[in-house]
Amino acid sequence: MSDSEPPAEQNGGLPAKLGAERLEAPVVREGLFGVHGTPDTSGYGRLKVRKPLPVSTPRPYGGYFDAVADALGSALEADGSSFDDAVERVVVDRGELTFYTRRENLVQVMERLLHDPALRFEIFSGVSGVHYPDEPGRELSAVYHLASITHNRRLRLEVRAPDADPHIPSVTGVYPAANWHERETWDFFGIVFDGHPALTRIEMPDDWLGHPQRKDYPLGGIPVEYRGTKVPPPDERRSYS
Amino acid sequence: MSTPHVTGAASAAEEEAAEGRIYDVAGEDWDKIVSAGDEDRSENEKIVVNMGPQHPSTHGVLRLILTLEGETVSDVRASIGYLHTGIEKNMEYRTWTQGTTFVTRADYLMPFYNELAYVLSVERLLGIEDKIPERAQLIRVLLLEINRISSHLGGIGPFGMELGATTIFLQGTRFRERILDLYELITGLRMNHAFIRPGGVVQDMPPGGLEAIRGFLREAPRLVHDLRGLVDANPIFRARTRGIAYLDLEGCMALGVTGPMLRAAGLPWDLRKSQPYLGYETFDFNVPTETTCDTYGRYMVRMNEIEESLKIIEQCVDRLADRASITDDPWMINDAKIGWPARLSLGPDGMGPSPEHIAHIMGQSMEGLIHHFKLVTEGFRVPAGQAYVPIESPKGELGCHVVSDGGTRPYRAHLRDPSFHHMQAVSMLCEGGLLADVIPAIASIDPVIGGVDR
């Protein structure tokens, strides 16, 4: 249901993307049921699921979304920047508006979103990290949800950073409530929020190693550490054989 | 020994040199500490006190580090994470349906809200928001509003006990127990329900369910009246809560505070009215507000919300009773690729798939068996994308950010818990006040650490 693919009937019954274009998309999954290394004779083993290329929604976005984009554009121009500089692409999906923002412009965009009378996104609804190891160069994602009480609107900002340089500017200067949310995202994903007043772990113990919600971090199998003692994970604790 | 008790030897001496004198209250040494205090009492002495993580009046395993000047709190830092259980990480390894069994355990005083926030996000990803049966929506609203009452009671009752009034706690618990009985009747469990699932709810209302709720509705006004008679005009309660933990509208806005704290500052912001979901726009209810911006105002908002919730429950019961004559009125989406295949029924050995369904898949239909097996073990696929659906929980805006990569499991699920967000306001509520007012300040946020830490 991505917006870059028009319905088949508009295209003479053919899929919107043909041959080479479809094969350019990165492979995200091979085979069925997650089975690897087995002599699969069913034919499903050669199935390859390709991830669609990043979509970008053309104007008009519908609803109040155009008004938000226009207001942000004029606010940024008054600030010496522009909408296209700050926002990589705009996605409207399932009735939700997402601005994929460049990290250099994040604080400026947030500042305008909060203070511009035509925008006024007062309520900061948190940061949610996502780790996409299959998207080289843009693995780490910070997703911000904002709400405007004045205009009764909602908006999502997404910022990407590469694993090699996991830095995103902190928005605590604009929204003080981002403080704990950024600490949580640092704790779980290892995204460094530059300019945060005290970027320390919040949910995990202070001396924990690794960032547990990353996709390369396993579920379970981690020794329990508490004040210098180490208890092996439950599946390794004792053997009755 | 006239000097205070000192722990350890060399390390403690070093620590004292750096931090000032350290008192280790280990029991049976009170006289020493008091006499030491007489010796070196100075005007500007600051004391750092650790409160928690096991203090009974901090709503779970919350730790506060308080800096005191005499009895005045000059600095508060909240330390959380003692109840972190990795709910979000675990969900990435389970099917979309199994996710509800995890989120329901986050904030355990409002399980249905966690479930609904997650389920609404999944339904938006699936694109089935307008295909959920009317009956399922009504049962959801019914459970949510019952839950709103029990969550507020779970905040108000123990708050009374924290102030030293056992009767308020017992009255609140007695009231809440009636609600837990309703949960048990409807879902089979008192908590951890996992009752609201993608596509609808697990089960229809049980026989006699509506009558039990009507019985509760007859009894509830008296219970509310009893509780209010005990608390509303209570001089001790008012002295402990009025003007305490003041946070005005400007402060709420700066910190992104929502829920009863915002409404106690005078702003009638309620997502059920402003961004309605589940058909809340068709129900008749008010959004109570106060303008005192203090702990007492937040208590009044919660109490008034209980009365508004009773109105919504009554409308729900009436609508469900009106639908009793409809012969085929489903409570799960009519989509075999998403809806749970088996309908549950109560047999002699407990709850399980209905005998008709078992007979169908085991005796009549191989395809039915395959379908059941695939949907139950592998689950359904959700189209790639992300969604965030906020709802008005008893504590404020609760949202679930769900990301799908097109598979049978959540790629990422994140609960935006109001308790987590509002705990950031503790410093603003407590600093400059008295030590004794820290307890009402925290109770006025009504945090539940299961939701804060997840």
Give chain A's domains with CATH numbers: 56-210 (3.30.460.80)
Provide the pLDDT for residue B2.
40
Cα–Cα distance, B49 to A12 (Å, whole number) = 74
Give a yes or no: residue B77 inside a domain: no
Cα–Cα distance, A102 to A159 (Å, whole number) = 6
Judging contacts by C-beta atoms under 8 Å, the chain B residues touching residue A121 are none
**pLDDT digit string (tens) for chain B, length 454 residues:** 344 444 444 555 666 666 666 666 666 666 776 676 665 555 557 788 888 777 666 677 888 888 888 888 988 988 888 888 889 988 888 889 989 999 999 988 999 999 999 999 999 998 888 889 999 999 999 999 999 999 999 888 888 888 888 888 898 889 999 999 999 888 888 888 889 999 889 888 888 889 999 999 999 999 999 899 988 888 988 998 988 889 989 999 889 899 999 999 999 999 999 999 988 999 999 999 999 999 999 999 999 999 999 999 999 999 999 888 887 888 888 887 888 877 777 777 777 788 888 888 888 888 888 888 888 888 888 888 899 999 999 999 999 999 988 888 899 999 999 999 999 999 889 888 898 888 889 888 988 888 898 8
Residues B31 and B143 in one domain: no
pLDDT at A130 over 90: yes
Beta-carbon separation of A147 and B397 below 8 A:
yes
Residues B39 and B187 in one domain: no
Provide the pLDDT for residue B327.
79
The number of residues in chain A equals 241
Q: Which pLDDT band holds residue A95 (cuts at 50, 70, 90)?
A: confident
Cα–Cα distance, B121 to B130 (Å, whole number) = 13
Higher pLDDT, A234 or A197: A197
Interface probe for A, chosen from B75, B89, B126, B395 (most Cβ of A below 10 Å), is B89
Residue range A53-93, pLDDT digits in tens: 567 888 888 889 888 888 888 988 888 888 888 888 888 88
In order, the DSSP letters of A118-144 are TT---EEEEEEEEE-TTSTT--EEEEE
Judging contacts by C-beta atoms under 8 Å, the chain A residues touching residue B84 are 203-204
Cα–Cα distance, B99 to B379 (Å, whole number) = 11
Beta-carbon separation of B387 and A96 below 8 A:
yes
Q: Which pLDDT band holds residue A32 (cuts at 50, 70, 90)?
A: low
Beta-carbon separation of A130 and B411 below 8 A:
yes
Phi-psi region of B281 (alpha: psi -120 to 50; beta: other; left: phi over 0): alpha
Q: Which chain A residue is nearest to residue B256, measuring alpha carbons? A: A123
Residues B429 and B301 in one domain: yes
Residues B181 and B297 in one domain: yes
Q: For position B405, which CATH number holds? A: 1.10.645.10
Beta-carbon separation of A145 and B401 below 8 A:
yes
Residues B221 and B171 in one domain: yes
* Distance in Å, alpha carbon of B244 to nearest chain A alpha carbon: 22
Residues B236 and B155 in one domain: yes
Q: Which chain A residue is nearest to residue B390, measuring alpha carbons? A: A125
Give a yes or no: residue B366 inside a domain: no
* Distance in Å, alpha carbon of A24 to nearest chain B alpha carbon: 18
Name which of B255, B401, B416 is nearest A176 (Cβ-Cβ): B255
Q: What angle do CA B271, B272, B273 make, to 5 degrees?
A: 85
Residues B24 and B105 in one domain: no
pLDDT at A8 over 50: no
Provide the pLDDT for residue B83.
87
Please say which residue of B11, B29, B45 terminates a domain: B45
Beta-carbon separation of A126 and B399 below 8 A:
yes
Give a yes or no: residue B147 inside a domain: yes
Judging contacts by C-beta atoms under 8 Å, the chain A residues touching residue B267 are 149
Provide the pLDDT for residue B375.
85
Name which of B89, B254, B383 is nearest A1 (Cβ-Cβ): B383
Are β-strands A96-101 and A153-161 bridged in parallel, bridged antiparallel, or unpaired?
A: parallel
Give a yes or no: residue B367 inside a domain: no
* Distance in Å, alpha carbon of A128 to nearest chain B alpha carbon: 7
Give a yes or no: residue B320 inside a domain: yes
Give a yes or no: residue B10 inside a domain: yes
Provide the pLDDT for residue A172.
92
Are β-strands A167-169 and A123-131 bridged in parallel, bridged antiparallel, or unpaired?
A: unpaired
Average model confidence (pLDDT) across chain A: 80
Domains held by chain B: number: 2
Give a yes or no: residue B234 inside a domain: yes
Judging contacts by C-beta atoms under 8 Å, the chain B residues touching residue A181 are 421
A120 and chain B in contact, CB less than 8 A: no
Provide the pLDDT for residue A21.
61
Residues B264 and B325 in one domain: yes
Higher pLDDT, A18 or B405: B405
What tokens were used for B89?
């990480």
Q: What angle do CA B438, B439, B440 make, to 5 degrees?
A: 95
pTM: 0.84
Residues B238 and B104 in one domain: yes
Residues B5 and B152 in one domain: no
Cα–Cα distance, B282 to B315 (Å, whole number) = 10
Q: Which pLDDT band holds residue A157 (cuts at 50, 70, 90)?
A: very high
* Distance in Å, alpha carbon of B428 to nearest chain A alpha carbon: 12
* Distance in Å, alpha carbon of B255 to nearest chain A alpha carbon: 5
Q: Chains A, B: CB contacts under 8 A, how many? A: 108
Q: Which chain A residue is nearest to residue B267, measuring alpha carbons? A: A149
Provide the pLDDT for residue B4.
43
Residues B142 and B285 in one domain: yes
Range of the domain at B27: 1-45
CA end-to-end span of chain A: 53
Give a yes or no: residue B389 inside a domain: yes
Amino acid identity at B393: S
Higher pLDDT, A115 or B353: A115
What tokens were used for B346?
């109560």
Interface probe for B, chosen from A51, A124, A125 (most Cβ of B below 10 Å), is A125
- Neighbouring CB atoms inside 10 A of A18's CB total 10
Tabulate helix, strand, coil % of chain A (nearest 5).
25, 25, 50
Beta-carbon separation of A177 and B423 below 8 A:
no
Residues B429 and B336 in one domain: yes
Identify the H or E element spanning A50: strand A48-50
